[in-house]
Amino acid sequence: MFRRQKWFLAGGMMVFLGILVLVWGVSLFYPPCPPGFGRTVSVIVPRHASTGEIGWLLQEKGLVRSGGAFSFYARLKGVDSQLKAGRYTFTTSMPLGELVDRLVAGEAEVRVVTIPEGFTVNQIADLLEREGLASRQEFLTAAANADFPYPFIKNLPPGPNRLEGYLYPDTYYLGYNLAPQEIIEMMLSRFAQKMKELDYSRRAEQAGLTLHQAVTIASMVEREAKVDEERPLIAGVILNRLRLGMPLQVDATVQYALGTHRAKLYYRDLGVNSPYNTYLFSGLPPGPIACPGEASLLAAVLPARTEYLYYVARPDGTHAFARTLEEHNANKKKYQS
């Protein structure tokens, strides 16, 4: 009799614990907050995120009680491979089923992204990753291997710097489901459109330049100039020095060779062994060092006609121009001492 009671009590305890586990398990599938008490949460689901990764992201944001329960539910419904990347706005009272359905349907939200003039391909990749639009590495790989039928990139050498200068800086409306190749194609298309609008190939030819040379000069102007009215003057200095066979000694090319953007360069920096270092190597660097905007592109093919061979930055970002080394040294002493 005693054994029977003991078994009954043990069995009852097991049933009770089973019910508790069942209730707890079922509760994992309910939203963290009851209807009417939820808060709004914005979530960026990265491209190529797995169901498990999405589940843990939603759990961290307080949108589901359990990332594992989310993954199990998505697999149970057979939609775990259909969850789409994008920026979503959910509430913490949203039922799990509705949340999964939204992720399957995807969001039509478009992100407005401005690529600043003077950005490098690396900076563009960093910006797109911060916005949740593309993996930095995937974007850089796509840029290095881009193969589009645009004549201006046809003969560009392969490598990580291949599209430097040709991804046109502008404001773009980008969906979260765009592949890096599609974003690159949009930027190349905008560059092609700008070349046509400016009749740029003809203007470059009239200036005695190939299009690649003109874009390379424009990129240096973009990185050196702070005010628009000085762009043609800086382009004029670059072309004057090229004509005389003088090394360009453009600080921005050293910054590019170093892979950094320091506030100040030191003499040891000027010795960096790179074809982009215009202190060590005469002539133009192998290609652009940034993506120039329209004002710098025009300055490269419509430079100011002057005798200036030097310029030095003033504290306010403008430049003092000089014809002789003596004048230049005097300007350096005046503005950089």
Contact 296, 225 (CB under 8 A): yes
Contact 113, 174 (CB under 8 A): yes
Phi, psi for residue 268 in degrees, rounded to 5: -65, -30
Phi, psi for residue 284 in degrees, rounded to 5: -75, 150
Per the model's pLDDT, the better-predicted residue between 303 and 55 turns out to be 303
> What is the C-alpha to C-alpha distance for residues 45 and 49, in angstroms, rounded to an integer?
7
Q: Residue 209 pLDDT > 80, yes or no?
A: yes
What is the percentage of the chain residues whose pLDDT exceeds 70? 87
DSSP notation for 25-64: HHHTTS-SS-TT---EEEEEE-TT--HHHHHHHHHHTTS-
Q: What pLDDT digit, counting tens, does each position of 109-154 carry? A: 677 899 999 999 999 999 999 988 889 999 999 999 888 889 998 8
**CA-to-CA dists, residue 317 to 74, 117, 119, 233, 250, angstroms:** 56, 17, 18, 14, 15
- In the chain, the domains with their CATH numbers are 27-105 (3.30.1490.480), 110-196 (no CATH), 210-306 (no CATH)
For range 155-183, the mean pLDDT: 88
- β-strand partners of 321: 311
- Residue 8: CA count within 13 A, CB half-sphere: 5
For range 246-253, the mean pLDDT: 94
Report the candidate in 303, 199, 201 with the shortest Cα–Cα distance to residue 242: 303
pLDDT of residue 82: 86
Tokens of 248: 């360009």
pLDDT of residue 37: 58
> What is the C-alpha to C-alpha distance for residues 146 and 124, in angstroms, rounded to an integer?
15
Contact 153, 146 (CB under 8 A): yes
Q: What pLDDT digit, counting tens, does each position of 43-59 carry? A: 878 777 888 888 888 88
